[in-house]
Amino acid sequence: MFKAIARFWRYLVAWVTGKVEQLEDPEVLLDQARREMQETLARNRERAVQAITQKNLLQAEVEKLERTVRDLERKAEIALQQGKRDLALQIVREKKAQEGALETMRASLQQAIETVEAVKLAIRRQEEEVRVKTAQALAMKARWKQAQIQTAINKALEGMTMESLETSWGAAEQRIQRAEAEAAARQEMSAQSLQGRLAALQDAQIDHEAEAELAKIEERLGMRPAAAANASTANTAVDDADALRELEELERKLQAAQGDTQGNA
């Protein structure tokens, strides 16, 4: 009854403060249930301690009465040995009264022992139940966390459409292809440009000049006939003339191309 009232009061406070959802959170509920189990177990343990204490007190009283009965019996024997029969009779009567109280107390002690054993068994069972419930609570918390994660993932996936993904993917791929094509075109134009061809012509001219210089050195060293050197020089002159003619042809083509571009503009 008290737990129900306390639970209702907590719910009422949560409703007033706007924390009902937090109060109904499975983790909160599981922690509350675990605390209640532990509190109940602690109270039951205290009751068990009290029951065991009462049993120990009864045990001590029983042992005290047993010693009293044995002492009275010895006193009755001594009185008889001294010829004091009347005194011995009174002692025996006292002994009988103490034995009656002893039997009653022994019955109470037996009942207390049974109660204590039952309480111990109940405590052990409750402890085992608390351990099992605690493990179940941990598993349930893990399930709750997993469900929350799965729900968050599902919500994220609900806002993602494959159409938008494919559109973005295709746009990125087209942009990359266009950049690659433009880079290839610029490379091709660079190779075919006038500067490129002039650079190639200059390289060829340098090669011819180096060859002529090498021929002169060979002729001076006697390693090459003069006629061969003259032929090499003539070939170099012919190559230079060809290069000049090709250069003039390239210039005319370039001027014609520029004139067509301006006319189209």
Last residue of a domain, one of 122, 151, 180: 151
Does residue 88 share a domain with residue 142?
yes
- Judge whether 49 lies within some domain: yes
Per the CB < 8 A criterion, the answer to whether 28 and 11 are in contact is: no
- Judge whether 171 lies within some domain: no
Per the CB < 8 A criterion, the answer to whether 121 and 113 are in contact is: no
Last residue of a domain, one of 86, 118, 151: 151
Does residue 143 share a domain with residue 73?
yes
Does residue 125 share a domain with residue 50?
yes
- Judge whether 12 lies within some domain: no
Per the CB < 8 A criterion, the answer to whether 80 and 9 are in contact is: no
In angstroms, the CA 24 to CA 137 distance is 15
Per the CB < 8 A criterion, the answer to whether 102 and 61 are in contact is: no
Please give the chain's pLDDT, 265 residues, in tens: 545 555 544 544 444 444 444 556 777 888 888 888 888 888 888 888 988 998 999 999 999 999 999 999 999 999 889 998 898 899 999 999 999 999 999 999 999 999 899 988 988 998 898 888 888 888 888 888 888 888 888 777 776 565 655 676 677 778 888 888 878 777 766 655 556 566 666 777 787 777 777 777 777 787 765 544 454 554 555 555 676 677 777 777 777 766 665 555 5
Alpha helices in 193-225 (DSSP H): 194-220
- Judge whether 4 lies within some domain: no
> What pTM did the predictor assign?
0.44
Does residue 253 share a domain with residue 202?
yes
Does residue 234 share a domain with residue 121?
no
* Domain enclosing residue 69, as ranges: 25-151
- Judge whether 166 lies within some domain: no
Last residue of a domain, one of 151, 179, 214: 151
- Judge whether 218 lies within some domain: yes
Number of domain units in the chain: 2
